[in-house]
Amino acid sequence: MTKCELNFIVQPKHTNAVGTLFGGEMLSRMDTCAAIASRRLFTSNEFDHIVTMHVEVDFKKPAVVGDVVTMYGEIVNLGKSSIKINIKATKETESGTIETMGTGIFIMCTVKDGKPYPHGLKVK
SS3 of residue 23 by DSSP: helix
Instruction: Enter the pTM of the model.
Output: 0.92
Are 120 and 50 in contact by the 8 Å Cβ rule? The answer is: no
pLDDT for the residue 19: 96
β-pairing, 82-92 with 115-116?
unpaired
pLDDT for the residue 1: 61
pLDDT for the residue 116: 94
pLDDT for the residue 2: 84
CATH class, 3-116 region: alpha beta
Low-confidence ranges of the chain (pLDDT < 70): 1, 123-124
